[in-house]
Structure 1
Amino acid sequence: MRPAASPGGGRRMSPGEEALRSLKRPRHPVDPGSGSDSGSSSDSESDGDFVSDLRQIACLLRLIKSGANKDRQKMCEQIIASVAANIQTMLEDTKSKFEKERQNLLKVLSGTSKEQCESSLNEEYTKLQETYEMFCEENDAHLQTFKDLFSQVEVEKKKLLEQYQYQREETATLSEFGDTFSEKITNAKPSPKRMKQTSFLATPSRLKLNDQPILFVPWLETPLPAKYCILFSQDDKSFIIFCKSVGSYLECASDDDFDLDDE
């Protein structure tokens, strides 16, 4: 980097150049006629000048070193900036190339993926339609089966209700018969004395009216004609069976009143 120009229009000198210029200036001349007294003073002055020159040289070296360090730092910064710019440019180029390739790949994939998606959707729709049709058929079959079962259940229910009603009626009838039979059994148990008193009156007998045989039955208002007496006259057992039948029918005579072994 070049140093800045001086205000007078010339080039401005650096501190190192100013120190070198001061070293090149001529020292003050020594008067030879001054004698020995002036010799010692001149030696001391020369030593002081030498020390000052050394100091100036050291200062100059420091300035040169600092300037070199500054120049080196600036150069490094410039190099780093240029490298960073190059890297940024390369990154942008790579990014643009990658974006272009990505766009191209997306276009290719979009075309192929669209076709694949359409084919996959068609296949899935076909499968779904087949499954739905199968479900509808099975649903109809199951519904028909349920309807048949329900109708059978209704028929069985009606049968069971009819059986229950019939059994209920039978139970009621049997209970009525039981009550009736109980009453009849109770009424059919007369005392032995009464049975003995009424046994003769309740027993049919063969009599004669106007020398004509007749059959007298106490339960009948009129005697039976002679033909019945003729029928029973042939066999006494028949007569006894007839009497027992009539007596059991009219519930007025007991079966014990007639003994088949009497004759």
Structure 2
Amino acid sequence: MLDLGGFPMSAAAGSAKRSREELECLRPERKAKKRESVDDDPDLDLSSDIKGIISALHQIREKALKDGQKKAEETIKRQSLMKALLKSSKECESSLKTEYGKFQAAYEKFCKEKQAHIQTFKGKKEKTSLSELEKACTEKLASAEESLKKKKQVKCTNKAEESPSKTSNSIGILKTTSFLNV
């Protein structure tokens, strides 16, 4: 028994005291045992596992929502980009049609002008060749007339000596050649 300062204790009081002291000493052990028993309890393990699974599911759900939002934003961006590209494409197509119309008109005008220039050139070429032919013919006629005159003069001088009737023939030939020149 414990001695409490020289006062005798009764057995019941001593046992009560002892049991309190023992209880106090045992309490940390009980707490540890309770902790051990809590950790060893399968229901508590199952409960904590379920909480972990629920927490993981919440995280997955939040991530899925964020991913869904990102995909929705990307889809919206893609759609707006596609609309802008479509609009730009239509503008380009319209501009291309306009420019093609202008080109077609200019091409047709060019073809007409080209044809006119070719005709003019052909006309000039024909006129030039005709005038060259005319010159050549005129020169040939002039040289032929000269040679005829010379021949006639020679013949006339020879015939004048021979007969006057032949000279009238040569005058008729001269009149015929001068008629051709006109």
What TM-score comes out, normalization by structure 1 length? 0.36
Question: What amino acid maps onto 1:151 in structure 2?
Answer: K
Distance change >3 Å, CA 116–CA 193, structure 1 → 2: closer
Question: What amino acid maps onto 2:75 in structure 1?
Answer: K
- Separation in 2, partners of 1:250, 1:104: 120
What pairs with 1:238-249 in structure 2 (closer than 5 Å)?
A: none
Question: What amino acid maps onto 1:105 in structure 2?
Answer: K
Q: Which runs of 5+ in 2 are unaligned?
A: 1-48, 169-173, 177-182
Higher relative contact order (CA 8 A, sep 6+): 2
Question: What residue is the counterpart of 2:94 in the other structure?
Answer: 133
1:105-127 CA distances to partner (integer Å, 9 max, x unpaired)? 21111222222222221111111
Question: What residue is the counterpart of 1:194 in the other structure?
Answer: 157
> Structure 1 residue runs of 4+, over 6 Å off?
92-98
- Separation in 2, partners of 1:104, 1:166: 90
Distance change >3 Å, CA 184–CA 95, structure 1 → 2: farther
Percentage identity across aligned positions? Answer: 5
- Separation in 2, partners of 1:146, 1:99: 67
Match of 1:179 among 129, 140, 147: 140
Q: How many angstroms does 1:100 deviate by?
A: 4.1
How big is the alpha-carbon RMSD for the aligned residues of Structure 1 and Structure 2?
Answer: 3.5
- Separation in 2, partners of 1:99, 1:181: 117
Match of 1:153 among 104, 114, 132: 114
Match of 1:144 among 91, 105, 112: 105
Question: What amino acid maps onto 1:103 in structure 2?
Answer: A
1:83-122 CA distances to partner (integer Å, 9 max, x unpaired)? xxxxxx9xx9798776544322211112222222222211
Match of 1:103 among 64, 77, 98: 64
- Separation in 2, partners of 1:123, 1:250: 93
Q: Which has a greater percent of helix?
A: 2
Question: What residue is the counterpart of 1:116 in the other structure?
Answer: 77
Question: What residue is the counterpart of 1:164 in the other structure?
Answer: 125
Distance change >3 Å, CA 174–CA 98, structure 1 → 2: farther
Q: Which runs of 5+ in 1 are unaligned?
A: 1-88, 202-217, 220-248, 252-263
1:25-82 CA distances to partner (integer Å, 9 max, x unpaired)? xxxxxxxxxxxxxxxxxxxxxxxxxxxxxxxxxxxxxxxxxxxxxxxxxxxxxxxxxx
Distance change >3 Å, CA 111–CA 250, structure 1 → 2: closer
